[in-house]
Structure 1
Amino acid sequence: MKFTDGFWLMREGVHASYATEVRDLQIGADHITAHAAVKHVRQRGDTLNTPLLTTEFFSPADGVIGVRVTHHAGKRRLGPDFALPGAGAGAGRTRREGDLVELRSGPLTLRLDTGKAWTLDFLDDRGRRLTAAERKGTAFVTAPDGAHHTAVQLALGVGEQIYGLGERFTPFVKNGQSVDIWQADGGTSSEQAYKNIPFYLSSRGYGVFVNHPGKVSFEVGSESVGQVQFSVEDQSLEYYVVAGRTPKDVLARYTALTGRPALPPAWSFGLWLTTSFCTAYDETTVTSFVDGMAERDIPLSVFHFDCFWMREYQWSDFQWDPETFPDPEGMLARLKSRGLRISMWINPYIAQKSALFAEGAARGYLVRRPNGDIWQWDLWQAGMALVDFTNPAARAWFQDKLRPLLAQGVDCFKTDFGERVPTDVVWHDGSDPERMHNYYAQLYNRTVFELLEAERGSGEAVLFARSATAGGQQYPVHWGGDCFASFEAMAESLRGGLSLSLSGFGFWSHDIGGFEGTPDPGVFKRWLAFGLLSSHSRLHGNVSYRVPWEFGEEAVEVARRFTLLKHRLMPYLYGAAVEAHTTGVPVMRPMLLEFPDDPACRTLDRQYMLGPDLLVAPVFTADGEVEYYLPPGAWTHVLTGETAAGPAWRRERHGFDSLPLFVRAGAVLPLGADDQRPDADWLDELTLRVHPVPGGAPSRRSVTVPDLAGGVAAVFHVAQDGDGVRVRAEGTDRAYRVEVVGGGSARGMGDVAVPLP
Structure 2
Amino acid sequence: MTISRPESGPLAGSFTELSGDELELVLEDGEGWWGGAAEDGLSMPFGTGSFARDLGSPRGHGSRDAAPSNQSGPVLVSTRGRVVWSERPFAFAFEDGLLRLSGRDVLVGRGGGSLREAFLAASRRFIPPSGRAPARELFSGPQYNTWIEHPYTPTQETVLRFARDLLESGMPPGVVLIDDSWACDYGTWRFDRARFPDPAAMIEQLHAWGCRVMLWVVPFVSPDSAAFREAEGRGLLIRDRTGETAIRRWWNGFSATLDLTDPAAVRWMTDQLDALVEETGVDGFKFDAGDVRDYRADDLTAAPAEPVDLCEAWARVGLRYPFNEFRACWRMGGQPLGQRLQDKPALWGPAGIESLVPEMLAQGMIGYPFVCPDMIGGGEIGSVGGQSAVDQEFFVRYAQIAALSPMMQFSVLPVRVLDDEHLAAVRDALAVRESVLPLILGLVDEAAKTGEPIVRPMAYHASGLDDVTDQFFLGPDLVVAPVTAQGATERIVALPPGRWRGDDGAVVEGPARVTVPCDLSRIPRFERLAEG
TM-score by length of 2: 0.88
Partner Cα distance (2:58, 2:277) in 1 = 30
Contact 1:183-1:192 within 8 A present in 2 as well? no
Secondary structure of the residue aligned to 2:43 is coil
Partner Cα distance (2:74, 2:443) in 1 = 25
Measured at CA, do residues 155 and 194 of structure 1 come closer, stay the same or move farther in structure 2, by a change above 3 Å?
same
Partner Cα distance (1:449, 1:339) in 2 = 24
The amino acid of 2:129's aligned partner reads: R
Secondary structure of the residue aligned to 1:384 is strand
1:633 matched residue in structure 2:
498
2:124 to 248, 256, 271: 256
Partner Cα distance (2:175, 2:156) in 1 = 15
Partner Cα distance (1:191, 1:371) in 2 = 26
1:356 to 214, 221, 227: 227
Partner Cα distance (1:158, 1:614) in 2 = 28
2:10 to 63, 67, 72: 63
1:398 aligns with 2:262: no
The amino acid of 2:199's aligned partner reads: P
1:309 matched residue in structure 2:
182
Task: Give CA-to-partner distance per residue, 1:278-319, whole Å, 9 cap, x none.
Answer: 2644233222332222223221211110112123xx223212
Task: Give CA-to-partner distance per residue, 1:376-416, whole Å, 9 cap, x none.
Answer: 12333444111111111111111101112212122121111
Measured at CA, do residues 206 and 265 of structure 1 come closer, stay the same or move farther in structure 2, by a change above 3 Å?
same
**Which structure is larger by alpha-carbon Rg, 1 or 2?**
1
Deviation at 1:185, TM superposition (A): 8.6
Partner Cα distance (2:432, 2:226) in 1 = 46
Partner Cα distance (1:58, 1:660) in 2 = 42
Partner Cα distance (1:390, 1:209) in 2 = 24
Partner Cα distance (2:460, 2:299) in 1 = 42
Higher relative contact order (CA 8 A, sep 6+): 2
1:410 matched residue in structure 2:
282
Deviation at 1:553, TM superposition (A): 2.4
The amino acid of 1:588's aligned partner reads: V
Partner Cα distance (1:617, 1:341) in 2 = 31
1:466 matched residue in structure 2:
327
Secondary structure of the residue aligned to 1:165 is strand
Deviation at 1:332, TM superposition (A): 0.6
Measured at CA, do residues 515 and 190 of structure 1 come closer, stay the same or move farther in structure 2, by a change above 3 Å?
farther
Aligned ranges for residues 474-553 of structure 1 at < 5 Å?
Answer: 474-488=335-349, 489-511=352-374, 512-516=376-380, 517-518=383-384, 519-540=390-411, 545-553=412-420
Partner Cα distance (1:340, 1:566) in 2 = 18
Measured at CA, do residues 462 and 256 of structure 1 come closer, stay the same or move farther in structure 2, by a change above 3 Å?
farther
Q: Which moved more, 1:545-554 or 1:512-521?
A: 545-554
1:659 aligns with 2:529: no
Deviation at 1:588, TM superposition (A): 0.6
Contact 1:350-1:385 within 8 A present in 2 as well? yes
TM-score by length of 1: 0.63
1:177 to 51, 60, 64: 51
2:72 matched residue in structure 1:
196
Contact 2:73-2:333 within 8 A present in 1 as well? no
Measured at CA, do residues 475 and 575 of structure 1 come closer, stay the same or move farther in structure 2, by a change above 3 Å?
closer
Deviation at 1:510, TM superposition (A): 1.6
1:578 matched residue in structure 2:
445
Relative to its length, the structure with more strand (as a share) is 1
The amino acid of 2:55's aligned partner reads: I
Q: Which moved more, 1:603-612 or 1:195-204?
A: 195-204
The amino acid of 1:651's aligned partner reads: T
Secondary structure of the residue aligned to 1:575 is helix
Relative to its length, the structure with more helix (as a share) is 2
2:194 to 323, 326, 342: 323
Q: Which moved more, 1:150-159 or 1:399-408?
A: 150-159
Partner Cα distance (1:448, 1:400) in 2 = 13
Secondary structure of the residue aligned to 1:342 is strand
Measured at CA, do residues 575 and 329 of structure 1 come closer, stay the same or move farther in structure 2, by a change above 3 Å?
same
The amino acid of 1:487's aligned partner reads: W
Measured at CA, do residues 462 and 244 of structure 1 come closer, stay the same or move farther in structure 2, by a change above 3 Å?
farther
How large is the RMSD of aligned CA atoms in angstroms? 2.6
Task: Give CA-to-partner distance per residue, 1:245-265, whole Å, 9 cap, x none.
Answer: 432222222122223153223
Partner Cα distance (2:441, 2:477) in 1 = 13
Secondary structure of the residue aligned to 2:446 is helix
Partner Cα distance (2:333, 2:443) in 1 = 19
Contact 1:368-1:374 within 8 A present in 2 as well? yes
2:387 matched residue in structure 1:
none
Deviation at 1:240, TM superposition (A): 4.1
Partner Cα distance (2:310, 2:441) in 1 = 30
Deviation at 1:242, TM superposition (A): 4.3
Secondary structure of the residue aligned to 2:274 is helix
Task: Give CA-to-partner distance per residue, 1:425-478, whole Å, 9 cap, x none.
Answer: 11101x14xxx211222211112212x2xxxxxxxx142111112234413210
The amino acid of 2:123's aligned partner reads: T
1:300 matched residue in structure 2:
173
Secondary structure of the residue aligned to 1:307 is coil
